[in-house]
Amino acid sequence: MTIIRYTKERLRSNSRMGIFFVAIGIILVLLSFITSEWKEISLASIGIGQIGAGIFMFIIYYFENRKQYLTLKNGELIKNSLFPKKIKLAEIKSIKEFAGDLRLITQNTEFVIDTQIIEPNSLEKLKNELKNYNLK
């Protein structure tokens, strides 16, 4: 089993955004306690929404850090997302590189891999694995 990893910058930015949203949310909730009224929109509700967005970003960070981007396993390439996508490497007819993407084309489908979010060492592993299938 080969794991194709996300770049560290992508993972770091997800955690930073989570910290940012939670911090802004806490500040807004605290401000709502200090100021009794603020027009028609409650600062507490905006703050709670911001905290929720931060928690969501932490969940995305955890999922991406745990699963990573792609997994090569038993002749299948799996794109790890909420609903994983799979392609059998034996069914690939051609591979095209265009605008930072790798497009794996089969008889029925097209599988797009964004190479800009892949760690450079993992990208080399992926390309070497695809070369093993003698595709152009």
pLDDT tens per residue across span 44-94 = 788 899 999 999 999 999 999 999 999 999 889 999 998 999 999 888 888
Whether the predicted pLDDT of 133 surpasses 60: yes
Per the document, the length of the chain is 136
In whole angstroms, how far apart are CA 45 and each of 28, 41, 59, 119?
9, 8, 21, 39
Chain-wide mean pLDDT for the chain?
A: 89
Domain-wise residue ranges, the chain: 2-67, 81-131
